[in-house]
Each structure stands twice: as structure tokens, then as C-alpha cells.
Amino acid sequence: MAKPYTMVPGFYTPAPDRYDRMEYHRCGRSGLKLSSISLGLWNNFGSVNVHENARQMLLTAFDLGVTHYDLANNYGPLPGSAEETLGRILDSDLRRYRDELVLTTKAGYHMWEGPYGDWGSRKYLISSLDQSLKRIKVDYVDIFYHHRPDPNTPLEETMGALADIVRQGKALYVGVSNYNAEQTAKAADILERMGVPLTIHQPRYNMLDRWVEEGKPSLCDVLLERGIGAAVFCPLAQGLLTDRYLNGIPSDSRAASPCVFLNEKAVTEDVLNKVRKLSALAGERGETMAQLALAWVLENPAITSVITGASRPDQIRQNVETLQKHVPLSEEEHKAIRAILTGEDA
Ligand SMILES: NC(=O)c1ccc[n+]([C@@H]2O[C@H](COP(=O)([O-])OP(=O)(O)OC[C@H]3O[C@@H](n4cnc5c(N)ncnc54)[C@H](OP(=O)(O)O)[C@@H]3O)[C@@H](O)[C@H]2O)c1
């Protein structure tokens, strides 16, 4: 039997009950289970951010049973620095728990100058993953994704690189992100022929952006039919689907920050109107707006996990609490939410 880790003052000891509150769902038809609430390191884990806050967020998440941590080569700022932050926190606190963690990274967006630091060539994917492994200071990641489709590289080449990465042991599973339904089905076919399953997709999905449900077949149809899991990004629409903006734009929020992916213009009266109504519905259920938004995504049977972002440990606590609080939405509540989102309730 493994010797229990003895508490040493000044050293991090994880909560002994960390697996009691979390739910773990099988990722598609694979054997890999993911925590239904995951943590993404896109914002607030870069070299420009306060390291101790990043550390507290990661440790808080781990203590609450979050096992799945999502990165990409370019997360920061500066690009690459979120992976370095994770490497530093593994060194200081979490390396002995490496086998309790699912660490992911990606390549597909611009990372370095010249023709080999962007898109989907074999050259880019394999060299980028080698760089990521050095920054995180691990021998392998659990999941490696192609970050976005590349219209100018044969899909066979991109998928071939993913299959080789698995065979080389540099990633245990592979996935794609931002691929539409048709691209996903093709990628899954190619990988299957190479003997490597497409284990996971990472799409954007939240109450305000439901593209994964649209079309015939929809992305959700393809994922369910082929047994591919889904870890959803921006489940809170970068914070719009929380109480963050209901009384103006706080100076410490993402919309007020230099982040180019969310600015004050996104906080429109239309969005606020919807969020106020959804928030009232959440309140009647004894949930916060964020908890309703996360639970709503998780009720979709195609979804394995929500990759949440955070700027402070309390947000992670509140988000994980979703699992204790949430009672499945009734058909009437689903209808009411749909009506709010489409504006049909007005
Ligand atoms: N594959 C891709 O192309 C792609 C693209 C984007 C993201 N991602 C992944 O998805 C992850 C999550 O994206 P995201 O950060 O946009 O997710 P999100 O969960 O939609 O938004 C996170 C933001 O919402 C606010 N928030 C979170 N919990 C809250 C709570 N309980 N109460 C109030 N506000 C709360 C915080 O904003 P404040 O900072 O204002 O406090 C936080 O930074 C990323 O880290 C990354 O790993 C992937």
C-alpha cells in the first residue's frame, strides 16, 4: 500500500476529500474520465499576472476535484507563459500528483514568426508540442489538440501528425478544436484509418452561442454518433453569463482588461437584458447565474466537461458548487430559457 503523504509545514497538501464533490464523465467512448468542471489557463495565468494568484487558483481547483487543465502553446500573455506558469506550479506543489492530472495543450494559431509557427502542418504541430513539453516540464501531455482547421494543409497531414504524436508517447489522446461537424467527421475517419481514435473535440458553446446544436448533422450529432467527447470552452461567454456586468463594467473584469477577445462593446443592452432574466430564473432555483449557465451546458448529453476560466479562487469555488446545487431543469424551464435567449418572451 502506498505510504500516505505526511503533512510538512509550508508544503502544499491537497484536500483529502478532493474527489468527494466532483463528477467525472467518460470522454466519448474512451476510457478517459474528465472532471465535469475543468479549468482553462487562457487568461490570468500569464507572465503578466500575479503568480501567487495563479497558484492559488490551480490549487483551489485541485482541492475541489478538478483534474482537467486546459492550455495552448500561445496562452499568456506572453505567448507560452501560461505553460511556464503551470510548469512552475508543478515544481512547487503538484508534480507528485502528475498522475492525478489531465494536462492538455494545443497548436494551430500563430505562435512564432515565419512559415512554421502557425496553422496545421506536421512541421508546426510536432515542433510546437516539443516546445510545450519543455515549458510545462513534462514528458507527455494527456491530450494534444489541433487548435483550428487549416484550409491549406491536407487534413491527412494534420491528422497524421496527431497520430504520430500519440505513437511517440508525447500525448496520450488527441483532439480537434473549432472544427465544424463535417470537418470533425472527416478528421475522425482519417484518424480511425490510422488506428488512433479522435477522442475529444473542443468547441465554443454557451447559452449565447449554440452553433454546436445547429445543422444536420449538427456537431453534437457527430460527436454522439462517433463517441467523441466534448470539452466546451467559454461556457460563461467569457464572464457575460455571470453577475459580473449586471451593475456596470468592473475595472478588474475581463471586459475592462486589455484582453482583445472581450471588450466593453460586448456588454450590450440586449445581452444584459437576457442575463437579468436568466439570473432571476437562476435565483428562483437557488443558483447563481454562472451556476445555471454551466449546468445548462452540462445537461447537453454530447458534453463531457465545461472548461471554465477564472480570475480568482472564489469563482472556481462557486463554479464547482454547481454540481452540488443543480437539479435538472424541467421542460418548462428549458422552454423559458429558450424563449429568453431567442427574445420570444418579450
Ligand atoms: N479552443 C479554443 O479555441 C479556446 C478559445 C478560448 C478559450 N479556450 C479555453 O477555454 C477556457 C475558458 O475560457 P474562458 O475563460 O473564456 O471561459 P468562461 O468560463 O466563459 O469565462 C471565464 C471568465 O468568467 C468570469 N467568471 C468565471 N466564473 C465566474 C463566477 N463564478 N462569477 C463571476 N464571474 C465569473 C471571469 O471573468 P473576470 O476575469 O472578469 O473575473 C473569468 O475570467 C480557456 O482558459 C481556454 O482553456 C479555448
Which CATH number do you get for residue 164?
Answer: 3.20.20.100
Say what percent of the chain tops pLDDT 70.
97
Residue 99 has pLDDT above 70, yes or no: yes
Q: Is residue 252 part of a domain?
A: yes
Residue closest via CA to ligand 1's atom 28 equals 315
Q: Is residue 65 part of a domain?
A: yes
Residue 5 has pLDDT above 90, yes or no: no
154 CA → ligand 1 middle, Å: 32
Q: Which of 234, 263, 279, 325 to mutate to test the pocket of ligand 1 (most atoms within 8 A of CB)?
A: 234
In this prediction, residue 8 has a pLDDT band, given cuts at 50, 70 and 90, of: low
Cell 440586449, residue located: 270
Q: Which atom of ligand 1 is nearest to the CA of 72?
A: 47
Q: What is the mean pLDDT of residues 30-55?
A: 98
Q: Is residue 235 part of a domain?
A: yes
Residue 10 has pLDDT above 70, yes or no: no
- pLDDT, position 28: 98
Tell me how far apart the alpha carbons of residues 9 and 41 are, in angstroms, rounded to a whole number: 28
Q: Closest Cα partner for 21 from 331, 281, 321?
A: 321
Q: Is residue 101 part of a domain?
A: yes
Q: Is residue 15 part of a domain?
A: no
Tell me how far apart the alpha carbons of residues 66 and 60 are, in angstroms, rounded to a whole number: 9
Q: Is residue 230 part of a domain?
A: yes
Residue closest via CA to ligand 1's atom 11 equals 40
320 CA → ligand 1 middle, Å: 14
Indicate the number of domains in the chain: 1
3-state SS track over the chain: CCCCCCCCCCCCCCCCCCCCCCCEEECCCCCCEEECEEEECCCCCCCCCCHHHHHHHHHHHHHCCCCEEECCCCCCCCCCHHHHHHHHHHHHHHHHHHHHCEEEEEECCCCCCCCCCCCCCHHHHHHHHHHHHHHHCCCCEEEEEECCCCCCCCHHHHHHHHHHHHHCCCEEEEEEECCCHHHHHHHHHHHHHCCCCEEEEECECECCECHHHCCCCCHHHHHHHHCCEEEEECCCHHHCCCCCCCCCCCCCCCCCCCCCCCCHHHCCHHHHHHHHHHHHHHHHCCCCHHHHHHHHHHCCCCCCEEEECCCCHHHHHHHHHHHHHCCCCCHHHHHHHHHHHHCCCC
Residue closest via CA to ligand 1's atom 42 equals 310
Cis peptide, bond prior to residue 77, ω within 30 of zero: yes
Residue 7 has pLDDT above 90, yes or no: no
Averaged pLDDT of the chain: 96
Residue 163 has pLDDT above 50, yes or no: yes
Domain extent, residue 232, equals 31-342
239 CA → ligand 1 middle, Å: 6
Q: What is the mean pLDDT of residues 63-84?
A: 98
In this prediction, residue 346 has a pLDDT band, given cuts at 50, 70 and 90, of: confident
Residue 310 has pLDDT above 90, yes or no: yes
Q: What is the mean pLDDT of residues 11-30?
A: 96
Q: Which of 148, 184, 263, 307 to mutate to test the pocket of ligand 1 (most atoms within 8 A of CB)?
A: 307
The dihedral through the CA atoms of 177, 49, 209, 318 has a sign that is: positive
Q: What is the mean pLDDT of residues 131-138?
A: 98
- pLDDT, position 9: 55
Residue closest via CA to ligand 1's atom 25 equals 239
Burial label for 341, CB within 10 Å (0-12, 13-18, 19+), is: middle
- pLDDT, position 259: 87
For ligand 1, residues with CB inside 6 Å are 40-43, 70, 147, 177-178, 202, 233-239, 242, 244, 253-254, 290, 307-311, 315, 318-319
Residue closest via CA to ligand 1's atom 29 equals 315
The gap from C-alpha 262 to its chain's centroid, in whole angstroms, comes to 17
Does residue 199 contact residue 165 with C-beta atoms inside 8 Å? no
Q: Is residue 135 part of a domain?
A: yes
Tell me how far apart the alpha carbons of residues 190 and 165 are, in angstroms, rounded to a whole number: 15
Q: Which atom of ligand 1 is nearest to the CA of 314?
A: 31
167 CA → ligand 1 middle, Å: 32
- pLDDT, position 4: 44
Question: Helices 331-342 and 269-284: crossing angle, nearest 10°?
Answer: 170
Q: What is the mean pLDDT of residues 90-94?
A: 97
254 CA → ligand 1 middle, Å: 9
Q: Is residue 213 part of a domain?
A: yes
Q: Which atom of ligand 1 is nearest to the CA of 243?
A: 33
